[in-house]
Chain A
Amino acid sequence: MLNIVHMTVNGKEVELAVDPRESLVETLREKLNLTSVKRGCGVGECGACTVLIDGVAIDACLYLTMWAEGKHILTTEGLKSPTGELTPIQQAFIDEAAVQCGFCTPGLIMTGVELVESGRKYTREELRKLISGHLCRCTGYENILNAIEKVVGVDS
């Protein structure tokens, strides 16, 4: 029992035959080869599969692909500019050495992009809360916070 779903993924319109049992993380990774979307815990605790749906960060593991009909989905693959430049958040992660094993990085980048898009500036305390849906087992979060703060912090 396949259903047709239309969605815009990283700016491109796609039409896919989708099994209603599929989660968005499966569709993105296995049908569209968007492997920046990591499959971590599968139950919405680690944030590794975070993508933006109509600009809002969600865990793609807890999202049925059927719900994506008509929606805009953004993954880190969609951040690359036509000339290959990185977004400020991505550059800040490099500059602040916020990446170690890299598994949590795409999800955190997407939350970072959501914060940039809000047009607001945030205190470090606010940022701690806003990235609390991501688990990073390498860095201890300090450099991640430094990186995000560099772009959307109150002093940025």
Chain B
Amino acid sequence: MYDISNYFEARSVEDAIRLLQEHEDAEIISGGTDVLVKLRSGKGAGETLVSIHEIPELHGVDRLLDGTLVLGPATCFTDLTNDPIIQECIPYLGEAVDTVGGPQIRNMGTIGGNVCNGATSADSAATMQTLNAIVVLQGPDGTREVPVTEFYTGPGRTVREHAEVCIAFLIRPEDYQGFTGCYMKYGKRASMEIATLGCCVRVKLSEDKKTIEEARIGYGVAAPTPIRCRNTEALLAGKSVDDPQIYDLIGEHVLEEVNPRSSWRASKEFRMQLISELAKRALKEAIARGKDGGKDA
């Protein structure tokens, strides 16, 4: 038995918002792979759960006419990885969430929970940062859009208000078209592991594939929240893809933009080394994929 005092199954987003308003101690549960684990450890004991597990409109991936991608927050990691739109447009996000836990967890855990629990170690976090994903929140007063780069306020904390439900993530065409990318995760094991560090590098190459037009660098666990390294991104723009110095450049400059801590999982010093090394490797892979015709798969 889970230690919860009350449980409500929301039938719609409006229903969920109403339930959250009525219950101050309520927490949203979607896939359950974080919330239930936390409850099992005794944290949040006695709280109320509002389940959005059975709201169909929160599932699935869609592409609007203008090219904007709409990710349903209740889409589980497996479905995201296997989705044809994701595979075509942003395969590196599918790869990133394919590193979460193990297969059974990926069949349950959702992209919405991964972002909304505010964890810096979330495997989707680095990639979502580089995609400039927009978090769409619906609350009692209507909907609002928050860029994921402004979504986090601290470890496990976000701008989402108590009675707000994440109803979609939007990814604009200018944030994915022409880009290739790569997510690299470091953990002690290849699976069933929380990221010690996660790094996503994405590049948009020039028509002749010789120059980096735009680069984007995102990290998880390199700071209390997921972050971007915009100064280093700016330094990479315009550089030749065959210039060997770009790897030293990214490896050195990202270190000025991060703020990792020591934890039982890894020391700050080790994380600094990972931050530098993973950026180099991810950049190399992103460029290789870009030269390969812009298709990641």
Contacts and interface: CB of A to CB of B under 8 A. Distances in A.
Interface of A: 19-23, 26, 42-45, 47, 50, 56-59, 62-64, 66-67, 69, 111, 129-134
B103 A20 contact: no
A62 B1 contact: no
26 contacts: A21-B3, A21-B7, A22-B1, A26-B1, A43-B36, A44-B101, A44-B104, A44-B108, A45-B192, A57-B104, A58-B104, A58-B107, A58-B108, A62-B33, A62-B36, A62-B37, A63-B32, A64-B2, A64-B7, A66-B7, A66-B9, A111-B103, A111-B104, A132-B103, A132-B190, A132-B192
A106 B95 CA distance: 29
B191 interface: yes
Contacts of B1: 19, 21-23, 26
Contacts of A20: 4, 7
B104 A47 contact: yes
Most central of B33, B41, B108 by chain A CB within 10 Å: B108
Nearest to B2: A21
Interface in B157-202: 190-192
Interface string B58-72: 000000000000000
Given A62-B32, A63-B108, A133 B103 contact: yes
B107 A56 contact: yes
B105 interface: yes
B203 to A, nearest CB: 27
Q: Which 10 residue pairs of A and B lie closest in terms of their CB atoms, listed nearest first? A: A133-B102, A20-B7, A132-B191, A21-B1, A133-B104, A59-B104, A43-B37, A132-B102, A133-B103, A21-B2
Nearest to B76: A56
B173 to A, nearest CB: 32
Contacts of B78: 56
B121 to A, nearest CB: 16
Interface in B28-64: 29, 32-33, 36-37, 40-41, 51, 53-54
Contacts of A69: 54
A64 B32 contact: yes
Interface of B: 1-4, 7, 9, 29, 32-33, 36-37, 40-41, 51, 53-54, 78, 101-105, 107-108, 190-192
A129 B81 CA distance: 15
B108 A59 contact: yes
A130 B103 contact: yes
A44 B190 contact: no
A59 B29 CA distance: 16
A133 B2 contact: no
Given A58-B104, A130-B103, 7 more contacts: A20-B4, A21-B1, A21-B3, A21-B7, A63-B108, A64-B36, A131-B103
B54 A67 contact: yes
Contacts of B29: 64
Given A21-B1, A44-B104, A64 B51 contact: yes
B162 to A, nearest CB: 21
Contacts of A57: 103-104, 107
Contacts of B9: 66
A133 B37 contact: no
A69 B104 CA distance: 19
A129 B192 CA distance: 10
B223 to A, nearest CB: 27
A129 B102 CA distance: 8
Contacts of B103: 57, 111, 129-133
Contacts of B51: 64, 66-67
Contacts of A129: 103, 190-191
Nearest to A64: B32
A69 B54 CA distance: 10
A111 B103 CA distance: 9
Contacts of B4: 20-21
B7 A62 contact: no
A64 B4 CA distance: 12
Given A21-B7, A26-B1, A133 B192 contact: yes
A129 B78 CA distance: 13
